[in-house]
Amino acid sequence: MPRFASLHASHLYAPPDRVEEPLRVAGFTPLSTTDFPGQLAAVVFVQGCAWRCRYCHNPEIQARLEPPLMPWQAVLNFLDRRQGLLDAVVFCGGEPTVDRSLGRAIDDVRQRGFKVGLHTAGIYPDRLRQLLPKIDWVGFDVKAPFADYAETTGVRDSGTPARQSLDYLLASGVEHEVRTTLHPSLLSSVNLASMATALRQQGVATFALQEFRAHGCSDTLLEPMPPPLDDAGIDHLQKLFPTFILRRAS
Ligand code: SF4
């Protein structure tokens, strides 16, 4: 039974932040070559997430109750010194769209000439839809078949907003990658196959499968296990999606 399956998302995080509050930065990576394909990017980890995925690698930043790690202005000061050296800024988390200041933070970044990437699980469809026109690339997490989301996220009905968000993303024309973390306790080979077929039918063309990594995961019941994926399963996914990426755990 998922640990928080009886909870609704609104029970899991602090009251809404005031609109005028700056972006709550929970972590910062000055240079990444892997978070936005083909771009040299700084990565901003935004504090807070309404879900509690069992394999979450950043459980320490799920709450919005801690003081931010650094002021947003300090990030901007860094970016001012990196103009011409960096291509982009990626916002991840946590769930970056939880922060109502994300739109203004994106504006700050674009005004400095950087592209914008976003990693999201699609928890807030309407916020994502409003942000998409100013985003250059999205990494979109799909946890499981949408009807089965609570098994992974611990939150009832969490697949509904995720599906809506994916629809908005696909309709927007913004470049993206849809990706799924694979652990045999959470996603069987049968469910993976049916989920992949449904995603392709929904319009997903670029799909990445990421094998579970134990590093950073706080759920000790989620032992590293061989992924439920044989050569035939990989072959099926390669044929299904125009672009298929397999990210091995090691
Ligand atoms: S949606 Fe992302 S940040 Fe939130 S709990 Fe799940 S893995 Fe962690």
Does the pLDDT of residue 75 top 50, yes or no? yes
> Using one digit for the tens of pLDDT, what is the confidence trace for 199-208?
999 999 999 9
Ligand 1 in reach of 56 Cβ (< 6 A): yes
Which pTM value belongs to this model? 0.90
Q: Cα(first)–Cα(last) distance of the chain, in Å?
A: 29
Cα Dmax for the chain = 52
DSSP H helices in the chain: 72-81, 102-111, 125-131, 149-153, 159-172, 189-202, 231-240
Q: Which CATH architecture has domain 9-247?
A: Alpha-Beta Barrel (3.20)
| Distance between Cα 81 and ligand 1 center (Å) | 31
CA of 202 to the centre of ligand 1 (A): 23
- Closest ligand 1 atom, residue 49 Cα: 4
Structure confidence by residue, pLDDT tens digits, 78-115 = 999 999 999 999 999 999 999 999 999 999 999 999 99
- 183 C-alpha vs ligand 1 centroid, how far in Å? 15
**Exposure of 4 by Cβ count < 10 A (0-12 exposed, 13-18 middle, 19+ buried)?**
middle
* Residue boundaries of the structural domains of the chain: 9-247
pLDDT of residue 145: 96
Q: b or e along 16-28 (b: 16 or more beta carbons within 10 Å of the residue's beta carbon)?
A: ebeeeebbbbbbe
Helix and strand numbers, DSSP H then E, in the chain: 7, 8
Q: What are phi and psi of 54, to 5 degrees?
A: -65, -30
